[in-house]
A and B are shown apart, each in its own frame.
Chain A
Amino acid sequence: MSQIKKTQLTSEHERLGGKMVEFGGWWMPVRFRGIVEEHQAVRSGAGLFDVSHMGEILITGPDALRFTNTIVTNNVEKLEPDQALYTCMCYQSGGIVDDLLVYRLPEGYLLVVNAANTEKDYGWIVEHAEGDIQIANESDDYIQIALQGPRAAEILAPLTDENLDAIRFYHYAKGDVTGLPAIISRTGYTGEDGFEVYLKGGEAEAARVWRALLEQGKPFGLVPIGLGARDTLRLEMGYMLYGNDITQDTTPLEAGLGWVTKLKKGPFIGRDALLRQKEQGLRKSLIAFTVEGRSAPRHGYPLLLDGETHGEVTSGTFSPSLERGIGLGYLSTEAQAREGILAVNIRGKSVPASRVSLPFYKQGSHL
C-alpha cells in the first residue's frame, strides 16, 4: 500500500481517543468507546460517522444522464430532481465494479463510491466515457459525515435552516449545516433514520460541523462511531460490503440485487451477460443465516449442507442486536434446492445455521 490517506477529520478522531487502523488505504477509527456500545447508541439514539473517505465522482454535460445510465444497473432516468438511488456498476461479464449511490444534482450526476474503489471506478468511468460529458473525481474536496439513529432529525434540525421533515428517504436538499453549504441526504448504511451530509472543505469546516453535531447530540446520546460498528450495523441490515459480499466475480443477480438491476431500461454495461445469466439460471446466490451459539461465522468460512461444502461465508459477525452470530454467504443453487442441514464450518466445528430473511434486524427506524 502506498501512502495511507487521512480524512479532514483524522485529528478529531485522534483527539476523541479513536483506535485508528488502516482500512482500504485510509487511516480510520475502528472504534471509540467499543463496538457494542457504539452499535447500541445508533440503534437507540444516534451516532456520528466520518465517511469522508468515500469517493465522489461528478458527471456533467449534455449527455450526462444518458452516459450515467449506460454504466450503472439501476435506472437513473427515474430520478426526481432531488432524489438519489442505490445501484451497481458492472463489468461486461456482469461482475460488479462497485456499488454506489447516484444523486441527481442540478449540475449533473454525483456518484458516491466505496473509498477503496475510487481510483478504479474513476478509471473505469473515464475509459468508457461517451458523448458530450465531463467526468471529475471530486473525492478529495468532499467531507462526508453520516448522522444515523432514531434521534438524528432532532439533532440536525437546530443546525440547519432546511426543513428536514420535507426530505424523504433517499432524497436530499441543498441547504446549510452550521451555515456551510451542504447536501443533506436522507440516506445511510445502518437501517436507522438519518442523514449523510456532504460539504466541500478542509479540516476547519469538517471540525466545525463534526463538533457542532456532537455538542447538539449530547442530550440524545450521540457518540462518534468507528468502522467496527459501521460494519455490524450494515450487516444486521444485510447491506452489501464490496470486496466481501460483492466482487468482480459476483453479479447483482447472484447478490440479491435484482431490485437495482433494470434489465429492461435499455443498454448498459453488463446487461447482456446478466440477461444470459437470468435465462440460464443462477449457479449460486447469496443467503442470510444465523448460527446457534455465540461463536460468529467469519469471511471465508465454508458453508455446509449435510456436512459437505457448498459455499462460503462472505460476511459474518456477532450481532449486538440479536446477540448471536449472523452471516451472509453464497450457497450453490443446487444445494439450496435440496433438503438438508445447513451449517457453518467454524474452525473445524460444524455449527448449525438457519436461513433467515433479510434484514436480520427488523426494528430499524427507517423501515
Chain B
Amino acid sequence: MDEAIRCTSEHEWVRAEEGFAVVGLTDYAQGELGDIVYVELPEIGARFEKGEVFGTIESVKSVSDIYSPISGEVHAVNHELEAHPELVNQDCYHAGWIVKLDMSDPSELDDLMTDAEYEEFISGGAEE
C-alpha cells in the first residue's frame, strides 16, 4: 500500500496530488468485490460533500455505492475505466484511480484513517 494515502471505512482511498485529491477503491475492497465490470463516474464540475455518494461500482454479482471521502468539486474522472473497469482490480492505487477532486477543505484529510489504521480496521472485523 501507498504510504501517502488516507482511507475511509467505506474502503475508498484518497491521495493529495498537486493540490487535488485523487480517489479510488482500496485493494481490500476490489478483492471483496471481485471482477469489476462497470464504474459509473460523476460529471466533471459536480460537487459532493464528504460522505456523499458520487458513483457506483458494479462487479459481476453486486452493485456498490462509492462515497466521496472529502468535500469538493470533480476536477477529472478516469475515462479509462469506461472501457476498462478491470483496472480497478488490476491496479487500484494507480491506473485504477476513479476521480480527482478539487478539495474545498484539505484539512478533512486529517479525519481519515492512515494506511496503518486502515490495515488494522480491515483486519479487525470490517464489514463483509
Contact = CB atoms under 8 A, between A and B. Distances in A.
A298 interface: yes
B56 A30 contact: no
B58 interface: yes
Contact of A295 (B35, B38, B60, B61): B38
Interface in B11-34: 34
A332 interface: no
Interface in A196-234: 228, 231-232
A101 interface: no
Nearest to A36: B35
Contacts of B34: 19, 31, 34-35, 228
Interface string B32-71: 0011011010000000000000001011110100000000
Nearest to A21: B128
B87 to A, nearest CB: 13
Nearest to A294: B38
Contact of B37 (A228, A296, A298): A296
A52 interface: no
Contacts of A37: 35
B85 interface: yes
Nearest to A298: B63
Interface residues of B, number: 12
A34 B33 CA distance: 10
Given A35-B35, A295-B40, A318 B63 contact: no
B35 A294 contact: no
B56 A318 contact: no
Q: Is the interface of A mostly helix, strand, loop or mixed?
A: mixed
A114 interface: no
Contacts of B60: 35-36, 228, 232, 296, 317-318, 320
A360 to B, nearest CB: 15
A interface, size bucket: 10 to 19
Contacts of A318: 37-38, 58, 60
Contacts of B58: 294-296, 318
Contacts of B59: 35
A72 to B, nearest CB: 32
Interface in A317-345: 317-318, 320
Contacts of A15: none
Contacts of B38: 293-296, 318
A228 B35 CA distance: 11
15 contacts: A30-B61, A31-B34, A34-B35, A35-B59, A35-B60, A36-B35, A36-B60, A294-B37, A295-B58, A296-B38, A317-B60, A318-B37, A318-B38, A318-B58, A347-B63
Interface of B: 34-35, 37-38, 40, 56, 58-61, 63, 85
